[in-house]
Amino acid sequence: MTGHVTDMAKPTRLTHKRHRDGSQMFKTVRALGELVITRIVEFADRDNMVVEKLFDDDIVTVAAMQNPWTRRRRIELAELVNEPWTLPSHDTGIGAFAIDAFRARGLKPPRATVITYSMHMRNELLATGRFLTILSSYTLMLPGRHPSLKALPIELHNARGTMAIITLKNRTLSPLAELFIKTARAVVKPLTMAR
């Protein structure tokens, strides 16, 4: 998911768009917004973008602490294919990553028991101890968030990525966008120090 702040000449709002394809995301930010915060992806128009690295992040498989899988020291992805999963749709970054992670191991992707864009719903399902999901590891590090969730010891293909703020070159940012970027930097600073 990427979020972007719209031009201040229009009514102030924060818009969320989901893109699996990097080139489509940048067409969107060029047309509608001032910035995106996203995992860095390859894209053709890098010459027209300013990329500010925020932090490195891993995609991890997650379960609630009471899930039996959390007691294992090593888990192969193949062992989890038939487990109950809650995932976002395959047209999102995390949903697409989940499919690609299984295919990279020669496995058929798991059939998600519950498909939802809602992180709140996924977290509630995880809290039952029955479900697994895939998340960015930084979501487990946010203060006061998800103390009952644990990353499972599974190596996922291409799990390491860089989160960045991406803006357009030669475009003056609005005061709202500047404030948003300043706040984002402050929020992620403890995350970068914890690694």
Instruction: Please determine, for residue 12, whether its predicted confidence score (pLDDT) is greater than 80.
Output: no
Mean pLDDT, rounded, for 32-54? 72
Q: Examine residue 157 and state whether it is found in any structural domain, yes or no.
A: no
pTM, to two decimals: 0.73
Is it the case that residue 6 has pLDDT exceeding 80?
Answer: no
Q: Are residues 69 and 92 in the same domain?
A: yes
In a domain, 156, yes or no: no
* 96 — pLDDT class (breaks 50, 70, 90): confident
Query: Domain containing 177 — which CATH number?
Result: 3.40.190
CA distance 158 to 156: 6
pLDDT score for 138: 83
Instruction: Output the domain CATH number for residue 75.
Output: 3.40.190.290
pLDDT(16) > 60: no
Q: Scan for tokens 């992805």, then name that residue.
A: 77
How high is the pLDDT of residue 41? 64
The DSSP bridge pattern shows strands 14-17 and 132-136 to be unpaired
Res 195: pLDDT: 55
Helix segments in the chain, DSSP class H: 22-32, 93-104, 119-127, 138-141, 175-193
Q: What count of residues does the chain have?
A: 195
Average pLDDT in the 132-148 region? 79
Residues 39 and 70 in one domain: no
Number of structural domains found in the chain: 2
Q: In the structure, what pLDDT confidence band is assigned to residue 24 with cuts at 50, 70 and 90?
A: low
Question: What is residue 69's three-state secondary structure?
Answer: helix
Region 6-22 average pLDDT: 44
pLDDT of residue 43: 55
Give me the residue label for tokens 């120090």: 193
Residues 90, 130 share a domain: yes
79 belongs to a structural domain: yes
Whether residues 26 and 43 fall in one domain:
yes
Structural domain span for residue 73: 56-151
In terms of Cβ atoms closer than 10 Å to its own Cβ (0-12, 13-18, 19+), residue 18 is: middle
